Chains A and B, each alone.
Chain A
Amino acid sequence: MAQITLIEAVTQALAYEMKHDESVVVLGEDVGVNGGVFRATQGLQEKFGELRVLDTPLDETTIAGVTVGMAVQGMKPVAEAQFEGFIYPMMEQIACHAARMRNRTRGRLTVPAVWRAPWGGGIRAPEHHSEANEHLFTNIPGLRVVLPSSPARAYGLLLAAIRDPDPVIFLEPKRIYRQYKEEVPDDGEALPLDVCFVLRDGTDVTLVTWGAQVKECLEAADELARQGVSAEVIDVATLTPLDFDTIAESVQKTGRCVIVHEAPKTAGFGAEIAARVAEECLYELLAPVERVTGPDTHIPLFRLEMKYLPSVERIVEAAQRTLAAS
């Protein structure tokens, strides 16, 4: 079986679902002949035609709004925002219509659509091409916010996102689009959207993260293991609705919690997890909760961007602090 990258897994999932479900359509800027600027939709227009792989006019508001309209008519549109930094004009349609159509109409009209966007920093891109703004969506009721962190999870979670009867924001960590390959059978098997994934079992400290930082957390766990510390690593994957039970179970076991994300710290989604840990795990905590995040600044242009993103060293250090505390 072929080994594929995360971005190829995205393409594989789109192709699988388009082949098996006629109502699935892909739309966005440059998604057709060009196959998307990251090649996520490579080859799809040849297979499925110009109407089901639709190059839209260059207007994010249009893309988002026609996506809502098509979805209400029973199609399953998968819209692409070319970069997360250009998703802002889509937010009115997402927040005011996609997320609340079911509620507004007491279930009469629904929006089974997906918005995909390449997300996050670390690829030496120009301004506005490196944003991590998942927290802007996690506070909108009625949305699922999903971030895959491996080829297999990208495939399984994207299939689940397309099949889900409600709108899903699917943010793809572009830094790890081509970082490594793994075997991903093209079997149409979706992964659940209501669980966190425990990627490594541990007993001393819990590292909670999502997206590209999963890689740094796994490396930090390796380093901690060399120091005799057993770290559990959780990939949250679906931020909302949150499966906090998996996190709580882990933190109640380890007594220590380090939350890692690249978005700015204040009111980032890590704040929500820290608050829940305080609500539900306070008496099991052996040390204060630690957050390793981007600072409350704009992500710098690329000469400094790696100093902005959480590093393995910073994560290890934070874990060590929790161990030193007790």
Chain B
Amino acid sequence: MSIAAKFEIEYLQYLDAEGKQVRDDLPEFAKDLGHMVELYKLMLSTRVFDAKSVALQRTGKLGTYASCLGHEAAHVGIGSAMKPEDVLAPSYREYGAQLYRGVQPREVYMYWGGDERGNDYQKEPARHDFAWSVPIATQCLHAAGSALAFKIRGEKRVAVCTIGDGGSSKGDFYGAINIAGAQNLPLVAVIVNNQWAISVPRKIQSGAPTLAQKGIAAGLHCIQVDGNDIIAVRKAMEDALERARNGQGGSVIEAVTYRLGDHTTADDARRYRGEQEVKDAWAKEPMKRLRAWLVAKGVWDDKKEEAWKAECDEWMDNEVNAYLETKTQPVTAMFDYTFAEVPADLAKQRDLVLSYENKGH
């Protein structure tokens, strides 16, 4: 028998669920404990931010919100590995990556609170990242197109897209990784496999044993990592980014994690999944293991945890206040960004809407 081609998918993990280090070859960044503490702090602030968002929604101060509870390692791992000049095309839940790149909590609140200005990220490098993309998987092609632009212009930049396990079924995802392989584009596609697409479990999305292997058909580098282990996510990202930056091809990374919360605040996950499954998932969540590891290294303790939490609370309270104090845009804002300049025909409609406004209609 002759074999035309053969493949395998590596699985990467450094910290197990208890925070025990399962391999000795720690990557460089993880040897810097000060940096690991920074990553832990951002994961914790992401969690505090997320809880605050859900609370805002429950008290009627936010519209529907998609929680990132349980995704902190995956998201911070992605965001922290990227360089400022790289571009992120997220879906709608990757706050950990976005906060790292300068998106402000108040901007997240504004977006989910019904104000487009939340997408007008003020700080670099987030300012040149894509905004949240609600139509599933479409953002993968924006990353591929960005990567194509970088290649044409000879820029050493990488485009990163994130996508869910559900989203990896959609043609846009396949289209993006396919053109990335065919054109050797600097693209890193991260499948954040949180086991659920609203109520539909992972096994209904695909018969493939890993989602990472989808990249093999496209000719990309593929790896599956423990998405609750930030060292694994960050390491896989660093390798993928470096290869892409050096013209050595794009990657698909599958980060295996779990959506601990409801799909969004409009969802009730108890309708479709059992308590035991969620309990088991909590035992593997990402904060606990990293905390245990840092505590064992002697660089973190309860006092530091409480102090940082208090700082996060204060930060989020400030952000919430800034959000709540934001005045609603003038009614004409809906016209002002439809085109670079308001066309004459549209200006007439704007005047009409403004006249309603002046009459209080």
Partners in one complex: yes
A residues with a Cβ closer than 8 A to B are 25, 51-52, 54, 56-57, 59, 61-62, 64-75, 77, 89, 92-93, 96-97, 102-110, 141-142, 144, 164-166, 194, 241-245
- Beta-carbon nearest neighbor of B127 in chain A: A108
Evaluate whether A69 and B131 lie within 8 angstroms (CB atoms) in the complex, with A57-B182, A241-B339 already known: no
| Inter-chain contact B140/A65, CB cutoff 8 Å | yes
Q: Which of A52, A71, A164 contacts B152 (CB 8 A)?
A: A52
Taking a contact as CB atoms under 8 Å apart, the answer to whether A106 and B116 are in contact is: yes
Cα-based distance from A141 to B172 in the complex (angstroms): 23
Known contacts A106-B337, A108-B120: A65-B130 contact under CB 8 Å: no
**Which of A57, A65, A110, A166 has the most chain B CB atoms closer than 10 A to its own CB?**
A65
Please give the distance in Å from A23's CB to the nearest CB on chain B.
9
Q: Is the CB of B344 within 8 A of A243?
A: yes
A96: which B residues are within 8 A, CB to CB? 134-135, 138
Q: Measured between alpha carbons, how far is A75 from B346 in the docked complex, in Å? A: 27
CB of B119 within 8 Å of the partner chain: yes
Bound complex: CA of A89 vs CA of B182, how far in Å? Answer: 21
Query: Which residue of chain A has the shortest Cβ distance to B344 in the bound complex?
Result: A194
- Distance (whole angstroms) from the CB of A50 to the closest CB of chain B: 10
Q: B281 in the interface, Cβ–Cβ < 8 Å?
A: no
Most buried by B among A52, A66, A105, A166: A66
How far is A108 from B33 in the complex, measured between Cα atoms in Å?
37
Which 7 pairs, one residue from A and one from B, show the smallest C-beta to C-beta distance?
A69-B145, A65-B141, A241-B343, A66-B145, A62-B175, A73-B149, A69-B142
In the complex, are the beta carbons of B338 and A141 less than 8 A apart?
Answer: yes
Evaluate contact between A62 and B146: CB separation under 8 angstroms: no
Residues in B with CB closer than 8 Å to A70 are: 145-146, 148-149
Shortest CB distance B161–A (Å): 10
Cα of A62 to Cα of B181 in the assembled complex, Å: 13
Bound state CA distance, A75 and B140, in angstroms? 18
Shortest A141–chain B CB gap in Å is: 5
A73-B150, A96-B135 given; A165·B340 CB < 8 A: yes
- Contact B145–A106 (Cβ < 8 Å): no
Count B interface residues, CB 8 Å.
46
Mark out the residues of chain B between 83 and 129 whose CB falls within 8 Å of any chain A CB in the assembled complex.
87, 89, 116-117, 119-121, 127
CB-based contact B339/A102 at 8 Å:
yes
Pair A62/B337 contact, Cβ less than 8 Å: no
B345 touches A241 (CB 8 A): yes
**Any chain A CB within 8 A of the CB of B193?**
no
Q: Which residues of A contact B141 (CB under 8 A)?
A: 61-62, 64-66, 68-69, 93
B350 at the A interface (CB under 8 A): no
Q: A65-B138, A70-B148, A106-B119 are in contact. List 8 more A-B contacts (CB 8 A).
A: A25-B152, A54-B183, A66-B179, A70-B146, A102-B337, A106-B333, A106-B337, A109-B130
Known: A57-B179, A65-B175. A241 touches B127 (CB 8 A): no
Contact call B146/A72, Cβ cutoff below 8 A:
yes
B176 and A62: CB pair below 8 A? yes
A103 cross-chain contacts in B, Cβ below 8 A: 116, 334, 337-338
Do A104 and B149 have beta carbons less than 8 Å apart? no
Contacting residues, chain A, for B333 (C-beta < 8 A): 106
Contact of B146 among A52, A54, A69, A243 (CB under 8 A): A69
**A71-B146 Cα distance, complex, nearest whole Å:** 8
The 23 listed contacts between A and B (C-beta, < 8 Å) are: A59-B171, A59-B175, A62-B178, A65-B140, A66-B148, A69-B143, A69-B147, A69-B149, A69-B159, A70-B148, A73-B87, A73-B146, A73-B149, A97-B135, A102-B337, A102-B339, A104-B119, A105-B119, A106-B120, A166-B340, A194-B343, A241-B344, A245-B344
B144 contacts chain A at the CB level, 8 A cutoff: yes
Q: Give Cα distance in the complex from A25 to B133, angstroms.
A: 25
Contact residue among A64, A71, A72, A75 (Cβ-Cβ distance under 8 Å from B130): A72
B142 pairs with A244, CB closer than 8 A: no
Q: Which chain A residues border B150 with CB–CB below 8 Å?
A: 73
CB of A27, distance to nearest CB on chain B (Å) = 8
**Closest Cβ neighbor of B111 among chain A residues:** A104
Query: B151 contacts the other chain (Cβ, under 8 Å)?
Result: yes
Chain B residues, Cβ within 8 Å of A64: 141
